[in-house]
Amino acid sequence: MLTFLRRRVLTSLLPLLAVVLGVFVLARLTGNPTALYLPENATAQAREQFSAANGFDKPIWSQLLDYLSGVVRLDFGTSLRTGESAAVMALRAFPATLQLAAVTMLLACLVGTAVGCWAALRPNGLADRVSSLLSMTAASVPDFWLAILGIWVFAIMLGVLPTSGVDAGGLSWVLPIAVLMLRPAGVLTQVVRGAMISALGSPYVKVARSKGAGERRVVARHALKNAAPPALTVAGDLAVGLINGAVVVESIFGWPGIGKLLIDAILQRDFAVLQAAVAITAISIFVLNIAIDIGYALLDARVRQKVGAAA
């Protein structure tokens, strides 16, 4: 298990390093990074001061070292807007996104598994058509438009839900989650449906049936258990992709999470905050990928055995 984990950690570290280095390289590519940090109307003197204070006049290698040690200490400098530590701002926004993403993924998995199984049991039936409609919508409807449509119908025309913010308690969760859920639920439904159709046609299901196992037991214990690993892999990718949706949904609904922080940082040209938000996202993706690998190893008997043999 440890050998397996060590290898996975090393391969997942690569993207994290690429992001951290990428931000540095991109920022230096533009020439003097003070242009990124300071507002456009800053005086030449202010630029020089800032440049000296942050070590931008030092050689590139020592700048890289400074930057890397800052990343390790989660020190990205202070926000231009608020004067607060950028890392603190990002860490404060992070739980809001995490809650939103966790609830969304949970609901998406439930819906995806339920509709997907139902569709697999009755191919070409009603559930099957619902599932293909769901996945088609998920792949074609822009989430920002769906969010606006939701605000228009439920907040403006019917007046039952708040337009934005988190003040309305449970009600303020409804629209963001509904919009965010669509894509993962649609994709998962298709994956579960496909995996279940092939699992239900396999010999071990026939064996279970011929031994007299009830339909519910066959579906839940035998077929679903074997359909789970591919769904889990896809769910992991979807969770990473949820960040894309979170940026859009949070900035429309005024959700105080990392996505909104990111867009605000861009629109107000606050580079330190941008860096911190990107780094925290990259780190959480890294953790998520490892968690998915462990889950996969626990679910799939073949991987579990190989892991056991290697350790």
Site for another protein, rule CB under 8 A? 11-12, 14-15, 18-19, 22-23, 26-27, 29-30, 36, 123-124, 128, 136, 139-145, 148-149, 151-152, 156, 187, 190-191, 194, 197-198, 234, 240-241, 243-244, 247-248, 251, 262-263, 266-267, 269, 271, 274, 278, 281-282, 285, 289
CA distance 270 to 277: 11
Nearer to another protein by C-beta: 222 or 260? 260
Residue 212 C-beta: closest distance to another protein, Å: 26
Residue 61 C-beta: closest distance to another protein, Å: 21
Nearer to another protein by C-beta: 261 or 297? 261
CA distance 118 to 112: 10
Residue 308 C-beta: closest distance to another protein, Å: 26
The two three-digit tokens of residue 113, written as one number = 């598994």
Q: Please name the residue that has the structure tokens 């020592």.
A: 62
The dihedrals phi and psi of 138, each to the nearest 5 degrees, come to: -60, -35
Alpha carbon 10 to chain centroid, angstroms: 21
Beta-bridged to residue 78, according to DSSP, are: 85
Residue 11 C-beta: closest distance to another protein, Å: 8
Are the beta carbons of 229 and 241 closer than 8 angstroms?
no
The one-letter amino acid code at 24 reads F
Nearer to another protein by C-beta: 156 or 301? 156
Residue 222 C-beta: closest distance to another protein, Å: 19
Nearer to another protein by C-beta: 26 or 110? 26
Nearer to another protein by C-beta: 27 or 219? 27
Residue 100 C-beta: closest distance to another protein, Å: 15
Nearer to another protein by C-beta: 126 or 149? 149
**What is the dihedral angle through the alpha carbons of 252, 253, 256, 262, rounded to the nearest 10 degrees?**
-10
Are the beta carbons of 176 and 102 closer than 8 angstroms?
no
Q: Please name the residue that has the structure tokens 């769904």.
A: 231
3-state secondary structure of 21: helix
